[in-house]
């Protein structure tokens, strides 16, 4: 357990602020990647860190702080999206990744990297169309580089289920990316 987490657990609000600054960019990204909407991502961010603030004492250091944070984020995202679906039947429009992510420094890139960046842009668009659970598993595995075992813990399901989600989601994404490239 890091020193910062321990201090935050003892009620040090300055340590909590530092903790937020260190980890929040990944939380916001994950919330955005799951919800597909900037406004929702901001609301999920608030909810996640308020929960962390209230429950940080219950973190025992059995897993990394990131994994714990990811679990809260996924839970909050799924609850938030579920609630929103129940309350409104109108489709929520995505706000566009270009308004959310930082612009990549467009210096002279080698051809290979340009191709890769274009493909990743297509992948991101395809991921938004995946079912919620598959999307969460895909995002955690490939965008946040979590192992299958960790993804299973974060999502609260078995490794077999996660493997199934990842297999199905990568198949779909690959097919769609191929279509977009054509």
Partner 1 sequence: MKHDHISKEDMHKYVTGCMRKKQAERIARHMESCERCRNACAEAEEFIRTLEGAVIPEPQHDILLKCRRKLFAAVKEEETRKFSLSAAAERAAEFLFRPVPAVKFAYVAAVFAAGIFFGRYMYSGPVISSPGAGSKAFTTIESIAFDTSRPGKSMVSLVLREDRTYTVDTSPTDPRLVDAAIYILKHEDRDDIRIKAMKILQHAKHTEDIERALISRLNSDENPGIRLMAIKMLKMFPINQKIRDTLIAAFFKDKNSGIRYEASDMLRNLPENPIETVNTNI
Q: Which of 77, 155, 99 is nearest to 147 (CA)?
A: 155
Please select the residue that binds partner 1; options are 119, 129, 149, 179, rule is CB under 8 A. Answer: 119
179 binds partner 1 (CB under 8 A): no
Letters for 76-95 (x = contact with partner 1 by CB under 8 A, - = none) are: --------------------
Rule CB under 8 A: is residue 142 a binding residue for partner 1?
yes
- 145 φ, ψ (degrees, to nearest 5): 55, 40
Radius of gyration of the CA atoms of the chain, in A? 17
Q: Does 167 bind partner 1 (CB under 8 A)?
A: yes
Name residues whose C-beta falls within 8 Å of residue 59's C-beta, 6 or more positions apart in sequence: 1, 5, 9, 65, 68
Look at the block and give the residue holding tokens 């077999």.
160
CA–CA separation, 85 and 89 (whole Å)? 6
Mutual angle of helices 65-87 and 38-55, in 10-degree steps: 130
Q: Which stretch binds partner 1 (CB under 8 A): 58-66, 72-80, 85-93, 143-151?
A: 143-151
Site for partner 1 in 18-77 (CB under 8 A): 20-21, 24-25, 28-29, 32-33, 38, 42, 45-46, 49-50, 53-54
Rule CB under 8 A: which residues touch partner 1?
Answer: 13, 16-17, 20-21, 24-25, 28-29, 32-33, 38, 42, 45-46, 49-50, 53-54, 99-104, 116, 119-120, 123, 142-143, 145, 148, 163-164, 166-167, 170-171, 174, 177
């Amino acid at each position: 357990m890091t020193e910062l987490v321990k201090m935050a657990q003892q009620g040090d609000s300055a340590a909590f602020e530092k903790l937020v600054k260190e980890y929040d960019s990944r939380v916001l990204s994950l919330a955005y990647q799951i919800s597909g909407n900037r406004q929702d991502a901001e609301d999920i961010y608030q909810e996640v860190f308020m929960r962390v603030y209230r429950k940080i004492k219950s973190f025992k250091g059995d897993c990394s702080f990131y994994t714990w944070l990811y679990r809260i984020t996924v839970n909050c995202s799924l609850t938030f999206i579920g609630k929103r679906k129940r309350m409104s039947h109108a489709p929520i429009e995505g706000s566009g990744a270009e308004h959310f992510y930082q612009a990549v420094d467009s210096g002279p890139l080698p051809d290979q990297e340009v191709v890769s960046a274009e493909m990743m842009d297509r992948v991101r668009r395809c991921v938004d169309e995946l079912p919620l659970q598959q999307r969460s598993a895909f995002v955690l595995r490939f965008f946040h580089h979590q192992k299958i075992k960790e993804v299973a813990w974060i999502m609260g399901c078995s490794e077999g289920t996660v493997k199934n989600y990842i297999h199905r989601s990568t198949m779909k994404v690959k097919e769609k990316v191929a279509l977009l490239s054509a």
